[in-house]
Structure 1
Amino acid sequence: MSPSDASPTASPLSQPAVDTDALIIGAGPAGLFQAFQLGLQGIQAHLVDALPHIGGQCSQLYGHKPIYDIPGIPVCTGQELVQLLEAQIAPMAVPRNLSQQVETVRPLDDGRWQVGTTAGTVFHARTVFIAAGVGAFVPKALKVPGVEALAADQLFYHPSQLDMVQGRTVVIYGGDEEAVNAAIQCSAEDGAKAAKTYLMHRRDAFNAEPAQLAQLQQLRDNGAIEVLIGQITEVQPNGELLKSVQWMDGDGNEHPLPTELLLVFQGISPRLGPLTDWGLALERKQLLVDPATLATSAQGIYAIGDIVSYPGKKRLILCAFHEATMAAFAAAEYLQGHKPLLEYTTTSARLHSILGVSHS
Structure 2
Amino acid sequence: MPDQNAPHVAVETDVAIIGAGPTGLFAVFECGMLRMKCVVIDTLEAIGGQCSALYPEKPIYDIPAHPAIAGADLVHRLEEQAAPFSPIYLLGRRVEALSERDGGGFELRTSKGELVRARAVIIAAGAGAFGPNRPPLNDLSAYEATGAVRYMVARREELRNKRVVIAGGGDSAVDWALSLKGIAKRVTVVHRRPKFRAAPESVAQMEAAATMGELDLAIPYQLHGLTGKDGVLDHVVLATLKGEEKAVPADHLLAFFGLSMELGPIAEWGLGLEKHHITVNPATCETNIPGIHAIGDVATYPGKLKLILQGFSEAAMAAHAIHPRIYPGEALHFEYSTSKGVPAE
Q: Which runs of 5+ in 1 are unaligned?
A: 1-11, 141-172, 176-198, 215-227, 232-249, 251-266
For 1:208 and 1:54, the matched residues in 2 are separated by 15
1:317-332 superposed matches below 5 A: 317-332=308-323
Q: Deviations over 1:90-144 (max 9, x none)?
A: 111211100001110111112121101111111111111000111124799xxxx
Query: Contact 1:289–1:297 (CA<8 Å) still a contact in 2?
Result: yes
For 2:113 and 2:31, the matched residues in 1 are separated by 25
SS at match of 2:338: coil
Structure 1 residue aligned with 2:155, among 198, 209, 234? 209
Alignment-derived partner of residue 17 in structure 2: 24
Structure 1 residue aligned with 2:113, among 111, 120, 125? 120
Query: Contact 2:15–2:36 (CA<8 Å) still a contact in 1?
Result: yes
Query: Contact 1:206–1:213 (CA<8 Å) still a contact in 2?
Result: no
Cα–Cα, structure 1 residues 58 and 108, in superposed 2: closer, same or farther, change >3 Å?
same
Cα–Cα, structure 1 residues 230 and 26, in superposed 2: closer, same or farther, change >3 Å?
same
Alignment-derived partner of residue 340 in structure 1: 332
Alignment-derived partner of residue 6 in structure 1: none
CA RMSD of aligned residues (A): 3.4
For 2:270 and 2:154, the matched residues in 1 are separated by 41
Alpha-carbon distance, 1:355 to partner? 4.3
Alpha-carbon distance, 1:66 to partner? 1.1
Q: 2:332 corresponds to which letter in structure 1?
A: P
Q: 1:300 corresponds to which letter in structure 2?
A: G
Cα–Cα, structure 1 residues 204 and 268, in superposed 2: closer, same or farther, change >3 Å?
closer
For 2:85 and 2:150, the matched residues in 1 are separated by 45
Q: 1:76 corresponds to which letter in structure 2?
A: I
Q: Deviations over 1:142-162 (max 9, x none)?
A: xxxxxxxxxxxxxxxxxxxxx
Query: Contact 1:30–1:317 (CA<8 Å) still a contact in 2?
Result: yes
SS at match of 1:103: strand
Q: Deviations over 1:76-102 (max 9, x none)?
A: 111111111011111112111000011
**Alignment identity in percent?**
42
1:78 aligns with 2:100: no
Alpha-carbon distance, 1:208 to partner? 5.3
For 2:151 and 2:113, the matched residues in 1 are separated by 39
For 1:204 and 1:292, the matched residues in 2 are separated by 40
For 2:152 and 2:55, the matched residues in 1 are separated by 17
SS at match of 1:109: coil
Cα–Cα, structure 1 residues 344 and 13, in superposed 2: closer, same or farther, change >3 Å?
closer
Q: Which runs of 5+ in 2 are unaligned?
A: 134-141, 161-228, 236-257
Q: 2:306 corresponds to which letter in structure 1?
A: R
1:288 aligns with 2:279: yes
Alpha-carbon distance, 1:174 to partner? 7.5
Alpha-carbon distance, 1:20 to partner? 0.8
Alignment-derived partner of residue 229 in structure 1: 230
Q: Deviations over 1:30-63 (max 9, x none)?
A: 0000000000000000110000000001222221
Q: TM-score, normalised by structure 1?
A: 0.61
Structure 2 residue aligned with 1:307, among 281, 298, 308? 298
Query: Contact 2:143–2:231 (CA<8 Å) still a contact in 1?
Result: no
For 1:99 and 1:281, the matched residues in 2 are separated by 27
For 1:139 and 1:103, the matched residues in 2 are separated by 23
Q: TM-score, normalised by structure 2?
A: 0.64
For 1:66 and 1:51, the matched residues in 2 are separated by 21
Query: Contact 2:132–2:151 (CA<8 Å) still a contact in 1?
Result: no
Q: 2:73 corresponds to which letter in structure 1?
A: E
1:298 aligns with 2:316: no
